[in-house]
Chains A and B, each alone.
Chain A
Amino acid sequence: NAGVMQNPRHLVRRRGQEARLRCSPMKGHSHVYWYRQLPEEGLKFMVYLQKENIIDESGMPKERFSAEFPKEGPSILRIQQVVRGDSAAYFCASSPYRGPNTEAFFGQGTRLTVV
């Protein structure tokens, strides 16, 4: 069983460019979560998606950030007009169903560097 796959593993963008981060959940998982980890800090929840639906986006910055999880294909975290402060590791996790009694499995992350 392939785990949660994130790509690219490393991404370098110049200020003002767009960054697209992809996450393919584990087979059979229809719930995806995105987390951000700034350098030397803990993981912060960003958004929770189910296929074609955003369930909880309480951790998403109000501007420039968006996420989707289409019916087909990976989940995408999109950052428009990146700034240096967006440099971080972005982790995606997936789970098989909704509810409190379910574990989430994380990918290895995408490390975004904005220059």
Chain B
Amino acid sequence: DAKTTQPTSMDCAEGRAANLPCNHSTISGNEYVYWYRQIHSQGPQYIIHGLKNNETNEMASLIITEDRKSSTLILPHATLRDTAVYYCIAPQGGSEKLVFGKGMKLTVNP
């Protein structure tokens, strides 16, 4: 997988936007950027993915830089239930295999 780098942890106040960064400087042109999260010990939850253009769905927005070397996941109004480990993944060469790194622990505080 294209190596992704995320901060170890981040705090966010409830109701505020949470901006989760990810660096993927070695990403190839055909490699998508995926975001998943794992709340406590539940199964991972798909959030969003994109290739070049910014993407938005009911959960979040994904902003990918023009050079595709980094991206930001935006949770527009974080809630306590958004506390989770967030994973930024760039499967290598279009592979379907997801390689989960250590992720980033987001804690949303009241």
Contact = CB atoms under 8 A, between A and B. Distances in A.
Contact of B94 (A31, A55, A100): A100
Contact of A106 (B43, B94, B103): B43
Contacts, number: 64
Interface residues of B, number: 24
Given A100-B91, A101-B51, A105-B46, A95 B32 contact: no
B96 A102 contact: yes
How many A residues touch the partner, as a band? Answer: 20 to 34
Given A42-B103, A101-B51, A106 B44 contact: yes
B89 to A, nearest CB: 10
A89 B98 contact: no
Interface of A: 4, 31, 33, 35, 42-45, 48, 55-56, 58-59, 89, 91, 93, 95, 98-109
